[in-house]
Amino acid sequence: GAVVSQHPSRVICKSGTSVKIECRSLDFQATTMFWYRQFPKQSLMLMATSNEGSKATYEQGVEKDKFLINHASLTLSTLTVTSAHPEDSSFYICSASHREGTLNTIYFGEGSWLTVV
């Protein structure tokens, strides 16, 4: 079946640096991918919708200059956390929607744990 792969699964970075997280659809083309953030013991909150070949659509309250999203191909979306701060430490997870017959099936990546020290 369709698979979405996310990398890295865990990353530690220093404050002020940038870190990139990749989300790949392995056996299907995804024109749209979604990035969620989950703080400890909280729910998943949508950050942005990643659109292939165009700008991402950010949810209210998400800084687009801090969380850069690039969807350069139909199988890859990247999320770059720029000038990371400790409060950016969180679980980031992506999803992609795949049309299967008449249904859109949603596949999630494995998620990425970001720790900013």
- Shortest Cβ distance from residue 34 to other proteins (Å)? 6
Q: Which is nearer to other proteins, 39 or 83 (CB)?
A: 39
Q: Which residues touch 90 (CB under 8 Å, ≥6 apart)?
A: 37, 38, 39, 114
- Shortest Cβ distance from residue 97 to other proteins (Å)? 3
Q: Which is nearer to other proteins, 14 or 41 (CB)?
A: 41
Rg (CA), the chain: 14
CA pair distance 4, 64, nearest whole angstrom = 24
- Shortest Cβ distance from residue 20 to other proteins (Å)? 19
Q: Which is nearer to other proteins, 75 or 95 (CB)?
A: 95
- Shortest Cβ distance from residue 16 to other proteins (Å)? 26
Q: Which is nearer to other proteins, 11 or 46 (CB)?
A: 46
Contact residues for other proteins, defined by CB under 8 A: 32, 34, 41-46, 49, 91, 93, 95-97, 104, 106, 108, 110-111, 113
Give the closest residue to 62 by CA, choosing from 48, 79, 81, 43: 48
Measured from the Cβ of residue 94, the count of other Cβ atoms closer than 10 Å reads 29
Q: Which amino acid is at 57?
A: T
